[in-house]
Amino acid sequence: MTEKGNNQGGKNKKRVIVAITNQKGGVGKTTTTVNLAAALGRAGKQVLLVDLDPQASLTEYFISPANLTETVYDLLKTSKTITPIRLGEYISLLPTNIDLSAAEIELPTQLNQERTLARKLRAYEFDYCLVDCLPSLGVLNRNALTAATLALIPVTTEIMAERTIKLMLDSVERVQESELNPGLRIWYILPTLYDGRLSHHKEILAALKAKYGRLVYEEPVKATTKYKDAVTSKVDISELDAAQGEYWDRLAAQLIADAEEKEEESATGEGTK
């Protein structure tokens, strides 16, 4: 993998960093990261995955975290960069293991701690970088939000969804207002694990749409056991369920369209943000 200087500008060199984040566990962050990355790869984009969760589910999806010689912990704690692991023609991974849990305690003693990931990511080449966040609002999450162009917030359509989203949105706002990353935008709130046969899922989805409007992605991710089968088989969902694969292709196409629109806005100075 090539490691090069920052943002060269120009249409082919845009770099979009998406933090996939929610302080709640089990809402589909890792599943979203894997399947959105696979879809971006099918669209011919180079994707860098960052596993920012010490539980290492994203890393385990692809490889065994046991024998890693360098991890995201080294990236954040030392002055060196680490070599991404190639997972295929389009996707590579900055892997993690449980060592990263120490970073939540150690990073706050470093100067400019929140900017560490943003700074380190400048060394890597990619079209899209997806950061799979840990379920917490601590310093690692602030690092992801500081580095990110966009935040994608997967949520389950459960009773606590609104409260969960509020905490997450407050956290995004703090990063914007603290000037760590004033340009950070929420891309979408993404309803996941959705079962349209359940009336409480339908009601909560409707309530989220009423409250957050177009910020809620129109089409929720369906709950299907195939997602668990995909983890076991270490494949993305498109290999087990073509319709679900197409769902992620549509989301990836939307991301590509939105990212290019943003780029044109900034090129012409017509941005609204």
Ligand X SMILES: Nc1ncnc2c1ncn2[C@@H]1O[C@H](COP(=O)(O)OP(=O)(O)O)[C@@H](O)[C@H]1O
* 176 contacts ligand X (rule: CB under 6 A): no
CB of 192: closest distance to ligand X in angstroms? 6
Nearest CA to 158 out of 26, 21, 19 is that of 26
Pull the structure tokens for residue 244.
């679900």
* 156 contacts ligand X (rule: CB under 6 A): no
* 37 contacts ligand X (rule: CB under 6 A): no
* 136 contacts ligand X (rule: CB under 6 A): no
Per-residue x/- marks for Mg ion, 52-81, CB under 5 A? -----x------------------------
Closer residue to ligand X, CB minimum distance, 20 or 47: 20
* 262 contacts Mg ion (rule: CB under 5 A): no
Closer residue to ligand X, CB minimum distance, 38 or 180: 38
* 228 contacts ligand X (rule: CB under 6 A): yes
Pull the structure tokens for residue 104.
């939540």
Can you tell me which of 57, 116, 157, 171 binds ligand X, judged by CB under 6 A?
57
* 30 contacts ligand X (rule: CB under 6 A): yes
Residue 221's binding partner among Mg ion, ligand X, none (Cβ under 5 to 8 angstroms by kind) is ligand X
* 29 contacts ligand X (rule: CB under 6 A): yes
* 224 contacts ligand X (rule: CB under 6 A): yes
Question: Concatenated DSSP letters for 221-251?
Answer: PBP-THHHHHHHHT--GGGT-HHHHHHHHHH
Give the list of residues 6+ apart from residue 53 with CB closer than 8 angstroms, or none. 29, 30, 96, 100, 132, 133, 134, 135
CB of 58: closest distance to Mg ion in angstroms? 7
DSSP, collapsed to helix, strand or coil, labels residue 189 as strand
- Give, for 54, the enclosing helix (H) or strand (E): none
196: left (phi over 0), alpha (psi -120 to 50) or beta: alpha
Nearest CA to 205 out of 163, 226, 195 is that of 195
Residue type at position 250:
R
CB of 182: closest distance to ligand X in angstroms? 27
Per CB under 6 A, which region of 10-18, 26-34, 43-51, 256-264 contacts ligand X?
A: 26-34
* Separation of alpha carbons 236 and 61, rounded Å: 10
What residues make contact with Mg ion under the rule CB under 5 A? 29-30, 57
What residues make contact with ligand X under the rule CB under 6 A? 25-31, 57, 192-193, 221-224, 227-228, 231
